[in-house]
Chain A
Amino acid sequence: MSFLSIRDLNVSLANGAPLLRRVSLDVAAGEVRALVGESGAGKSMIGKAVLGILPRAAKVTGGSIQLDGEDLETLSPKARRQRIGARVALIPQDPLTALNPSRRVGPQITDRLVDILGWKRAEAEARALELLEEVHIQAPDRVMKAYPHELSGGMRQRILIASAFAAEPKLIIADEPTTALDVTVQKQILKLIREMQQRHGTALLFVTHDLGVVSKIAQSLTVLYAGKVIEETDIKAFFAGPSHAYSRALLAATPKYTDPDGSLTPVPDSVIQAVEAEIAAFDAGQMGTVRA
């Protein structure tokens, strides 16, 4: 039974331009699913739809999002926030903009425990200290009192990871959590996310455009193009040979330093045209079903 179950999700702009096209995907309890695509493919949009933080201009226009068997769209906004706050957390891409620069780190971790879950301040602080130790931060009591600018990028990302796990969520959405980091720090952070995910048994929806990262962290993946699911499979099958031409081209474009030639192949125009045609045909089919 899936913890997160998205069915036929449509998200559109006010002018009707589709951002997500009947997206269906499942994340089982404790599973790590990667969500892959180029910029503009809608991969972050899925996470935002689940969290209920879509940009103002975008609206859910169809389909359902079920969390632990409960349809989120049927809940009142307040009930929805409660459910999400208690069970789902986000690890954002940019650790600098995600932290308030004018507040100390400690309260930014404990706020959510106090405000949403109704913990006592002292309990929340004890929990935050425990978590900072768990993400291998030295002198956590000192870091709690620090401002974000006093910490390195890797440190800030560790704090956001600690914060995401604070309320023991069942699902974490990680939106390109290592894209802003250099390769050595990326490795440490991925290792930490994997370690925390396994220890806490949390399901993870991992948004990324890097298939190298996908092969290390995920068990399954969903490939998106223009808001439509292009391929959905498990890791072994995908890296043995993706079934869709676009996925194959994406894999071919991923650099491999072990390749002596080192040449890089962009996704060919012919593949782009084919997948665009597929989307156009899909849209035409949708128009038909709406009229019928």
Chain B
Amino acid sequence: MSEMIYQLKDLKVSFPDMSKKPLLGAAPRIDVLKGLTFDIPKGEVLGIVGGSGSGKSTLGRALIRLIEPDDGAILFEGTDITHLGEDRLRPLRRRFQMIFQDPMSSLNPRRRVGGIIAGPLKLQGLDNVKGRVDEALDMVGLPRSFASRYPHELSGGQRQRVGIARAIALKPDFILADEIVSGLDVSSQAQVLNLLESLVQDLGLTLAFISHDLSVIRRLCTRILVLYQGEIVENAETPALFADPKAAYTRTLLDAIPLPDPAQAWF
């Protein structure tokens, strides 16, 4: 059995429901993740799929401890990080990175691309920052001269490459990609997905890819986790999931994708 990068046991996350908060006292909690148990082996590309409100982004954010779970456990390479404090998380943060959905709002408009990629490197106190920035730009297929440009000078696809460069510059073991192609054109989408596929192979990355659209992740992901209202309804290897979806909700998600074919009976 291959080594596990993540082990999750009965993970529970809830948020306060502020719309139902009484004047005095605590707001009632909404359970967003209702006890998830699964592992992510090293080198796996895991697709996390579900509709809006299914808890897929919450799960992603819990994995890299941007939020603290209520209950259950998250083990990162055997270390329990469920309730770890920020000072003890910081050295680990270098090893799990995130690529964000909207490259426009996740890149500081007032900083140049080079500074954006260098930010986390400096925060982690690494040497040879310039060399590492150049290397990251090379890996995502952007010219090194882009380091002196501002985000608004780039196209959507190029901005998303900068987001990827910032994540891989730290040479992490795990990357979380949250809906990173849903704002892109089909052509840029294909370029970004192909780039991720080659980076995963070249760098030996483990990747979790969150999406609401199963069609974009068939090629990239080795395994797919389907979430519905905070619970795992299916966890299957990609070919098996597409050949014979077990959960009714997986079927619903597949049927909702419009194929570019007028003959498909869809409505």
Contact = CB atoms under 8 A, between A and B. Distances in A.
A binds B: yes
Interface in B208-267: 212-216, 218-220, 239, 242, 252-262, 264, 266-267
Contacts, number: 117
Interface string A209-250: 111111110000000000000000001100100000000011
Nearest to A257: B215
A215 B261 CA distance: 6
B191 to A, nearest CB: 4
A266 B262 contact: no
B215 A256 contact: yes
B208 to A, nearest CB: 18
Given A239-B261, A264-B193, A185 B216 contact: no
A254 B212 contact: no
Contacts of B187: 38, 249-250, 253, 266-267
A235 B187 CA distance: 21
A46 to B, nearest CB: 17
Contact of A209 (B186, B191, B267): B186
A263 B219 contact: yes
A251 interface: yes
A265 interface: yes
Contacts of B213: 182-183, 255
B189 A264 contact: yes
A215 B188 CA distance: 21
A258 interface: yes
Interface string A153-197: 100000000000000000000000000011111110011001000
Interface string A27-62: 000000000001110000000000000000000000
A182 B254 contact: no
A96 to B, nearest CB: 13
Contacts of A186: 256
Contact residues on B (Cβ < 8 Å of other chain), bracket: 35 or more
A285 interface: no
B156 interface: yes
A250 B186 contact: yes
A257 B261 contact: no
Given A182-B51, A264-B190, A264-B219, A258 B258 contact: no
Interface residues of A, number: 45
Contact of A239 (B255, B262, B267): B262
Interface string A122-152: 0000000000000000000000000000101
A264 B261 contact: no
A153 B51 CA distance: 12
Contact of A185 (B52, B214, B257, B266): B52
A235 B255 CA distance: 21
B185 interface: yes
A38 B185 contact: yes
Contacts of B219: 261-264
B258 A216 contact: yes
B79 interface: no
B115 to A, nearest CB: 26
Contacts of B191: 266
A187 B256 contact: yes
B194 interface: yes
Interface in B1-45: 19
Nearest to A154: B52
Q: A38, A153, A211, A257 — which one has the most chain B CB atoms within 10 A of its CB? A: A257
A265 B190 contact: yes
Contact of A253 (B52, B190, B212, B257): B190
Given A215-B264, A239-B262, A184 B190 contact: no
B95 to A, nearest CB: 29
A255 B256 contact: no
B260 A214 contact: yes
Contacts of A194: 267
A271 B19 CA distance: 52
B156 A39 contact: yes
Nearest to A249: B187
A39 B185 contact: yes
A262 to B, nearest CB: 3
Given A183-B257, A239-B260, A250-B186, 20 more contacts: A38-B188, A150-B19, A153-B52, A182-B212, A182-B213, A183-B253, A187-B256, A190-B258, A194-B267, A212-B257, A212-B258, A215-B259, A236-B262, A253-B187, A254-B260, A256-B259, A257-B218, A257-B242, A257-B259, A266-B188
Interface of A: 38-40, 150, 152-153, 181-187, 190-191, 194, 209-216, 235-236, 239, 249-251, 253-267
Q: Which 5 A-B residue pairings sit nearest by Cβ, starting from the closest? A: A262-B218, A212-B258, A262-B219, A264-B190, A257-B215
12 contacts: A40-B155, A183-B51, A185-B52, A191-B267, A212-B260, A214-B260, A255-B213, A257-B259, A258-B259, A262-B215, A265-B190, A266-B190
Interface of B: 19, 51-52, 155-156, 185-191, 193-194, 212-216, 218-220, 239, 242, 252-262, 264, 266-267
